[in-house]
């Protein structure tokens, strides 16, 4: 029976997880934390979730999987858990891309940790000279600390603005 298998998985996780349920999981506070600890902490430490970073779809699939394995809770509790997990353990690679030819000054400022002046200078340059084609273009912007851009170049996307 499947329950035997689940039992084994549970044992394994309790051992590898060390303290099991006795240890209060170090999960960040936030809306839905209580529901998450309740519905996700019954078999393994709820803190197991901290080992993964997923999109909302990814977390929904994991929660579905856990329900298949026997996780018990109300629909609301599972929905709260998905919200909590998505907010606190997001897949960062997906959200981290910055479309430099489309992003607003505000987005550039927050996502690239720039000053508002630097972000404004980027947008102004873009308006005057057209789309950025590579990181090198940022070096032509007066008053911009290009090291900040260089450090983030893996996240930059240079799709043309009129596409």
By the rule CB under 6 A, 87 interacts with ligand HEC:
no
Instruction: Compute the residue count for the chain.
Output: 163
66 binds ligand HEC (CB under 6 A): yes
Does residue 37 bind ligand HEC (CB under 6 A)?
no
> How many residues make contact with ligand HEC (CB under 6 A)?
21
The reply to whether 69 sits near ligand HEC by the rule CB under 6 A is yes
Sole window of 25-33, 44-52, 104-112, 125-133 interacting with ligand HEC (rule: CB under 6 A): 44-52
125 scored as a contact of ligand HEC (CB under 6 A): no
What is the per-residue burial (b if ≥16 Cβ within 10 Å, else e) of 85-110? bbebbbbeeeeeebebbebebeebbe
- The H-assigned helical ranges of the chain are 2-17, 33-40, 56-69, 75-88, 92-96, 105-111, 116-129, 146-151
Does 62 help bind ligand HEC (rule: CB under 6 A)?
Answer: yes
């Amino acid at each position: 029976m499947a329950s035997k298998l689940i039992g084994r998985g549970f044992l394994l996780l309790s051992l590898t997880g060390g303290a099991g349920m006795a240890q209060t999981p170090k999960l960040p506070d936030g809306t839905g934390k209580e529901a998450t600890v309740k519905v996700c902490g019954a078999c393994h430490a709820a803190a197991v979730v901290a080992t993964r970073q997923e999109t909302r779809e990814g977390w929904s699939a994991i929660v579905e999987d856990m329900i298949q394995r026997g996780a018990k809770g109300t629909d609301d509790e599972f929905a709260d858990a998905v919200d909590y997990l998505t907010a606190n353990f997001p897949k960062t690679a997906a959200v981290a891309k910055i479309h430099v030819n489309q992003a607003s000054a505000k987005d550039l400022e927050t996502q690239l940790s720039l000053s508002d002046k630097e972000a404004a200078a980027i947008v102004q340059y873009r308006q005057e000279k057209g789309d950025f084609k590579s990181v090198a273009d940022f070096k032509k912007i007066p008053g911009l600390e290009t090291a900040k851009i260089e450090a983030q170049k893996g996240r930059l996307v240079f799709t043309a603005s009129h596409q």
